Structure 1
Amino acid sequence: MTDAEMNSRPNGHYPSDGNVSFGNSKTKLANGTDPAHTKPSRVEDDWSSGKIIRNLICVSAAFLFLFTAFQGISNLQSSINCDQGLGVASLAIIYATLIFSAIFVPSFVIRHLGLKWTLVGSMCCYTLYMIANLYPSWGTVIPASILVGLGAAPLWSAKCTYLTTIGMRYAVIKRETRDAIVNRFFGVFFLFFQSSQVLGNLISSLVFSQDIKNSTGSGDDGVFKCGAKDCYTDTGSTEENGTNYCELNKPEAHLTNILIGIYTACGMAAMLTVAFFLVPVKPSEENQSSNTMELFGATMKLMMDKRLLMMIPITIYSGLEQAFIQGDYTKSYITCTIGVAWVGYIMICFGVTDALCSFLSGRVEKYTGRIPLFALGALVHVALVIVMVVWEPSAGQKPVFFVLAAFWGLGDAIWQTQLNAFYGVLFPFVQEAAFSNYRLWESVGFCFAFAYSNFLCVWIKLTILISMLESE
């Protein structure tokens, strides 16, 4: 997509200039635009740069706690809850519900609870999901998955609006462009957020390392077909893939319960961090919809903007690629070949790379622009998909598992930081509708990927990924 296409304004809507005013002050930023016709964002004038940074760190730390738990357990769902595909089914339900939630829930919740308490309430939904995994069944995990789906959209909408609002205030204080500051803030946030991959998987690795029987996988014995050739379904058919390797490699129940107990404590820590330390901020009036149907209308209306239409494929791909690394790479490559005990260690490598590249991409974009970064992310993932299709994993190739995960994290870091910041910068005065669209289309990718996980061979899933990249 060209710069001209990105900067177009159909019918004069959704301005993307770098103007903003706070309180009674009006500031002209580096690009020289006039904020005369904008409404004030609700960050009070007494907010200093130090106070803004403290609240940025507070939000980021809370997400670190929460997603240490959620990403850790999500990476293991296809391995620990493999009975009739319960694990990936729960993930599919989360993102299917999120599609509905992204349109109808954020406006109602944020308007009645505010940004701060929306974050707390949504984090409570995630914590209940952890508790449900102590008693995994279709009657406990699936309802909890629906709660997470309902809470996820308000969580991310509130977070994105909060960061963008304080970022705009910080840009005025420092007399820098809004684009640069918002990118920097999202880079800091995703440094914390992607670090949750490290902590969550380190915890699971340390806990499951006590389970000796799962220190190795079963792919080298000739019974299982791992990697791209894995055509595992919930029937456990011996004709396609030997037997149900997931059941054979399942960790001991008491260790799983210890792990989930730790993750539940992390979720509670996230709630308490926001409840006691985050200072409330109100989004600007132009960022608020008066009711749910107004957000629905605004979300649908924004889909007519050609800038958003061009971003839909890449946003769907963002969901597909995250679902693949969580559900398929962990199961069909790692668990199948070298055992579930290695899932955490390898995903730590993914998380470290993701976190560092998230932080760096927010700063590098200032010098390169977004298009070169998106191109780099696409090239890296295309190369990885080709390697995964032709590679036949074996237990003697452990370093390769780490390398592939690391480079996947590099690409994911670009998609996450740049897409989040891009939506905020392109549509600064319709943020709820913009981030509603973002979560909606990303959730479509997640939902489809987890929904077909138990029915397609891995090589077909990889083909879908590369097809989506080509469509961009």
Structure 2
Amino acid sequence: MTSEGSKFGNINSQPSCNRELQSMASALPGDEETPLVGDISGLEGRKSHHTRDVHILSLAFLLVFLAFGAAQNLQSTLNTEDDLGTTSLGILYLSFTFFSVVASLVVRVLGSKNALLIGTTGYVLYVAANLKPNWYTLVPASVYLGFCASIIWVGEGTYLTSAARSHSTDNNLHEIAVIGDFNGEFWAVYALHQFIGNLITFALLSDDQQEGSTKGTTLLFIVFLFIMTFGAILMCFLRKRSANSKGQQELSGADAGACASLKSLSKSLASALSDVKMLLIIPLIAYSGLQQAFVWAEFTKYVVTPAIGISGVGSSMAAYGAFDGICSLLAGRLTSGLTSITTIVSVGLFAQAVVLVLLLLNFSISSGFLGTVYILFLAGLLGIGDGVLMTQLNALIGILFKHDTEGAFAQLKIWQCATIAIVFFFAPLISFKAVLVIMLALLCFSFCIFLLLALKVGKAPSPSTSQRN
């Protein structure tokens, strides 16, 4: 009886079910309250705007930094009177270091997008100061750029990591892989600034053999200013983002008082420094700053210029940027966890170790074409190392420090810039070989400490990897 009743019940319910289905089907074409296609497109829009923002951010940084990077490479060779160029860079990175202490607070108050917009103004002013370089233009511009650089890089790290986490959540993707992909794309495009900027330098600058000077500098910096302005405008199209992965709203001056903000800042920096993981990353961060300063100042001055002249700085740094960009993209794509990061970092550090050993041994090729190819080869190896370090350090910090992204990226810039400032101030006081020995020693030490970090973190389960496959 029960089974028969249930059968009859099912039969009796079928007409009503069919009527409901028919009514729903008839309502679909003209139902404005339930636009199913519109909902799907809206969902796709929410999923895709994260990658759109990464494209815009990458291109904007490329346009801004292709000008600044080329101008920076030329400081030690163009502005040689009283070491104005090198000293201005030392002041820039010293200012960068000090302002990085409060950069996370400034980014929280301004928001990551506003920090990026304000940050670009310092780079424009610095390049403009090179139109009439002297102590009264370059030094103030360097101090202001130090502030702008601190907030633009903390803002970039925070913005990119937030976009990656949102994208992984919306698309149910592996968070670490997305962070690696986004960092790989950003640093690959960013690294092209060395390639494109220095090709422009190579095209516009020429050595005047009779007067012993360089022609075309004014035109070069005017072209750079136009390009940077377009990059700054492009950043206006970025979407605003929350400060962290939990969707917490970014702090504003009205929401948090000065005392509370400073207390939060000091707690953030103290917690980052008390974290064993951060302490183990710091040596590698310091080396990453050292190798960048070495390329910008020492390598261009003592290796490139004597071999192929000042105009050759553009071509060698273009090779550096090309390999930097390619390796950034590959390293980002291959990043899937701590094991892959460890392997990639090992390859990058080995490439730079080869360069340092060759320079220490005074190995060189004096013949014309082969000598130029050898310089480009060394620049390429240095670019490989830089591309690896930039992508992997940023990905590693984004993975390990999810609860205080701004503070962690502020630490990254503090230690990088402190090392860069030390190089610009003290490298002229010691020999080139002494710089090479220090670099090689720090490379070996930082790599050993990094391996210790990999072992320590590898023993503990990662919450990021267990969230989703």
TM-score of the pair, normalised by structure 2: 0.80
* SS of equivalent to 1:428: coil
Report the counterpart of residue 201 of structure 2 in structure 1: 204
For residue 251 of structure 1, what is the aligned residue in structure 2? Answer: 214
| TM-superposed deviation, 1:452 | 1.4
Identity percentage of aligned residues: 28
Is residue 2:243 matched to residue 1:283?
A: yes
Counting only pairs closer than 5 Å after superposition, residues 261-340 of structure 1 correspond to structure 2 as 261-275=222-236, 277-284=237-244, 291-340=261-310
Which residue of the partner structure matches residue 386 of structure 2? 412
> 1:244-270 CA distances to partner (integer Å, 9 max, x unpaired)?
xxxx85413xx1111111111122111
The 3-state SS of whatever aligns with 1:251 is strand
Listed one character per residue, the Cα deviations across residues 38-79 of structure 1 (whole Å, up to 9, x for unaligned) are xxxxxx988523211111111101000011011111111101
Question: What are the residue-to-residue correspondences of 1:62-73 with 2, within 5 Å?
Answer: 62-73=60-71
CA distance in 2, matches of 1:54, 1:308: 31
Instruction: Tell me whether 1:213 sits opposite 2:209 in the alignment.
Output: yes
After superposition, residues 158-197 of structure 1 pair within 5 angstroms as: 158-197=155-194
- Residue type of the alignment partner of 2:407: A
Alignment match of 1:372 (pick from 319, 336, 343): 343
Q: Greater helix percent: which structure?
A: 2
**Are 2:445 and 1:445 equivalent residues in the alignment?**
no
1:430 to 404, 418, 424: 404
**Change over 3 Å in CA distance of 1:264–1:296 after alignment to 2:** farther
Q: Are the equivalent residues in 2 in contact too, given 1:194–1:354 (CA < 8 A)?
A: yes
Q: Cα–Cα, structure 1 residues 112 and 298, in superposed 2: closer, same or farther, change >3 Å?
A: closer
Q: 1:89 to 1:317 in 2, by over 3 A?
A: same
- Is residue 354 of structure 2 the alignment partner of residue 383 of structure 1? yes
Alignment of 1:120-135 (within 5 A): 120-135=117-132
Distance between the aligned counterparts of 1:419 and 1:450, measured in 2? Answer: 23
Q: Please say if residues 249 and 340 of structure 1, whose CA atoms lie closer than 8 Å, have aligned partners that are also in contact.
A: no
Does structure 1 retain, via aligned residues, the 8 Å contact 2:90–2:422? yes
Query: Aligned equivalents of 2:53 and 2:266: distance in 1?
Result: 30
Q: CA deviation at 1:422?
A: 0.6
Distance 1:125 1:212 in 2: 31
The Cα of 1:351 is off from its aligned counterpart by 0.4
* Correspondent of 2:135 among 127, 138, 148: 138
**TM alignment of 1:324-363, pairs within 5 A:** 324-363=294-333
- 1:395 and 1:116 mapped to 2: Cα distance? 50
CA contact (8 A) 2:111 2:250 kept: no
Query: Take 2:68 and 2:266, find their aligned partners in 1: how far apart are those partners?
Result: 28
Q: Which has the higher contact order (CA 8 A, sep 6+)?
A: 1
Q: Is the 8 A contact 1:295 1:432 kept in 2?
A: no
Shift of residue 212, structure 1, vs aligned partner: 4.8
Tell me which residue corresponds to 1:34.
none
Q: Deviations over 1:76-128 (max 9, x none)?
A: 110111111111111111111111111113412x2343222211111011100
Q: Deviations over 1:338-394 (max 9, x none)?
A: 211010011111100000000000112228511111111222211110101122544
Q: Which of 246, 260, 272 is the matching residue for 2:221?
A: 260
Q: Which amino acid aligns with 2:144?
A: L
Deviation at 1:435, TM superposition (A): 0.5
Q: 1:287 Cα deviation (Å)? A: 8.7
CA distance in 2, matches of 1:46, 1:430: 29
CA distance in 1, matches of 2:344, 2:76: 31
Contact 1:350 1:409 in 2 (8 A): yes
Contact 2:104–2:407 (Cα < 8 Å) also in 1: no
Larger radius of gyration: 2
TM-score of the two chains, using structure 1 as the length reference: 0.79
SS in 2 for 1:139: helix
Paired AA for residue 263 in structure 1: F
Asked whether the 8 Å contact 1:72–1:197 carries over to 2, the reply is yes
8 Å CA contact 2:288, 2:386 repeated in 1: yes
Query: Aligned with 2:266: secondary structure?
Result: helix
Provide the rounded CA distance (Å) in 1 between the counterparts of 2:213 and 2:304. Answer: 13
The aligned runs of 1:145-156 (5 Å cut-off) are 145-156=142-153
Pairs aligned (count) = 391
* Secondary structure of 1:140 counterpart: helix
Residue 279 (structure 1) shift: 1.6
Separation (CA, whole Å) in 2 of partners of 1:278 and 1:347 = 30
**Paired amino acid for 1:154:** I
8 Å CA contact 2:130–2:138 kept in 1: the answer is yes
**CA distance, structure 2, for counterparts of residue 444 and residue 332 of structure 1:** 23
Paired residue type of 2:67: A
Distance 2:203 2:359 in 1: 27
Q: Work out whether residues 103 and 410 of structure 2, in 8 Å CA contact, stay in contact via their aligned partners in 1.
A: no
Q: 1:464 aligns with which of 430, 438, 445?
A: 438
Q: Aligned pair in 2 of structure 1 residues 420, 337: CA closer, same or farther (>3 Å)?
A: same
Aligned CA RMSD, in angstroms, stands at 2.0
**Shift, 1:292, TM fit:** 3.8
Distance 1:250 1:212 in 2: 5
Post-superposition offset of 1:177: 1.5
In structure 2, distance between residues paired with 1:249 and 1:338? 15
Q: Is the 8 A contact 2:272 2:407 kept in 1?
A: yes
Q: State how far apart, in whole Å, the 2-side matches of 1:287 and 1:352 are.
A: 38
* Residues in 1 aligned to 2:147 and 2:203: alpha-carbon distance in whole angstroms: 32
CA contact (8 A) 2:242 2:248 kept: no
* Structure 2 unaligned regions, length at least 5: 1-41, 447-469
Distance 1:447 1:249, change over 3 A: farther
**Residue of structure 1 equivalent to 2:73:** 75
Once residues 306 and 273 of structure 2 are traced to their aligned partners in structure 1, the CA distance between those partners, rounded to angstroms, is 41
CA distance in 1, matches of 2:76, 2:332: 32
Partners of 1:92 and 1:413 in 2: CA distance: 23
